Amino acid sequence: MMGTDEDSPADPGKCIITRRKPEEIKEELQAVYEEAYSRYPQYAERGDRCVESYFNRLERMRPEGFLVATVDDEVMGFAVEDLNWKMFDSEPVGEVMELVVSPRARGHGLGKKLLRLLINILNKHGRKKIGLEVGGNNKEAIKLYQNHGFEYFDDDGTWICMVLDSEKVDTFYQVETPVYEFSHSKKQHER
Ligand SMILES: CC(C)(COP(=O)(O)OP(=O)(O)OC[C@H]1O[C@@H](n2cnc3c(N)ncnc32)[C@H](O)[C@@H]1OP(=O)(O)O)[C@@H](O)C(=O)NCCC(=O)NCCS
């Protein structure tokens, strides 16, 4: 059985990442989204109606589905990309629209795995630049993005816009297999 809170983390085991239509597992996705942002509620949609309309927007962006990570059929995280975020110098830019990992599954490399899959997908669609917006105090996510070559581009005081120029870095990761094993040792980060 999986744990139910941050004190009883997910057992390391087989984590499967597949494309799933959000309507099939809508409630689970929304529950993981809400628990994932419990530390930074200011950067998430709040209230059932806002969360639902946000998910409807994500679904319109990716009608073919989200990348969903499950362990024993339980949703542990998901990621959503957008092929057409903005145009820089008349070049279409991809976007990391959403990336969440349940607090029960953190520190095992799942966030990294989902991000690398999104980067690969966007690269395969010819997006040399990939952008995202991240809350200015969201240090875990900022570190994850910086470690993958995303650089500060702009901010509005609340949100930081970061951009990855894939021509500057080697962004093709070896993450082809949909079945992914959690690393058995959980990384400890300074809090
Ligand atoms: C950001 C998030 C997706 C990371 O998920 P995760 O599965 O724990 O991440 P990983 O185990 O793959 O770690 C990836 C990197 O994130 C950073 N990181 C993760 N936890 C961290 C922590 N507590 N402190 C500092 N950096 C941390 C590190 O750079 C780490 O790489 P490293 O282990 O090589 O140092 C997760 O914390 C989350 O869902 N946060 C809430 C939602 C969110 O903020 N999403 C981003 C939207 S822009």
Give the closest residue to 160 by CA, choosing from 173, 141, 177: 141
Note the pLDDT of residue 74: 94
Q: Please check whether residue 8 lies inside any domain of the structure.
A: no
Residue nearest to atom 10 of ligand 1 (CA): 109
Residue 27 counted as domain residue: yes
Amino acid 85: pLDDT? 87
Q: Domain count of the chain?
A: 1
Residue with more model confidence, 86 or 175: 86
This prediction's pTM: 0.88
Better pLDDT: 87 or 125: 125
- 190 part of a folded domain: no
Tell me the two tokens of residue 173: 């990761």
Residue 6 within any structural domain of the chain: no
Instruction: Compute, in angstroms, the gap from residue 90 CA to the centroid of ligand 1.
Output: 32
- The answer to whether position 191 is within a domain reads no
- pLDDT of 89 strictly over 80: no
| Domain, as residue range, for 160 | 14-181
Question: 77 forms bridges with which residues in the sheet?
Answer: 69, 101
Burial label for 159, CB within 10 Å (0-12, 13-18, 19+), is middle
Say yes or no to pLDDT of 2 above 50. Answer: no
Both structure tokens of 2: 């999986």
Domain containing residue 87: CATH number: 3.40.630.30
**Residue 152 belongs to some domain of the structure:** yes
| pLDDT tens column, 3-30 | 334 444 455 568 899 999 998 899 999 9
The residue to mutate among 30, 37, 104, 106, having the most atoms of ligand 1 within 8 angstroms of its beta carbon, is 106
Whether 5 maps to a domain, the answer reads: no
> Which residue, by CA, sits nearest to atom 12 of ligand 1?
109
Q: What percent of the chain has pLDDT over 90?
A: 60
Going by pLDDT thresholds of 50, 70 and 90, the confidence category of residue 178 is: low
Ligand 1 atom nearest residue 43's Cα: 44
Assigned domain for 187 exists: no
Confidence label for 86 from pLDDT (cuts 50, 70 and 90): confident
The confidence score (pLDDT) of residue 190 equals 60
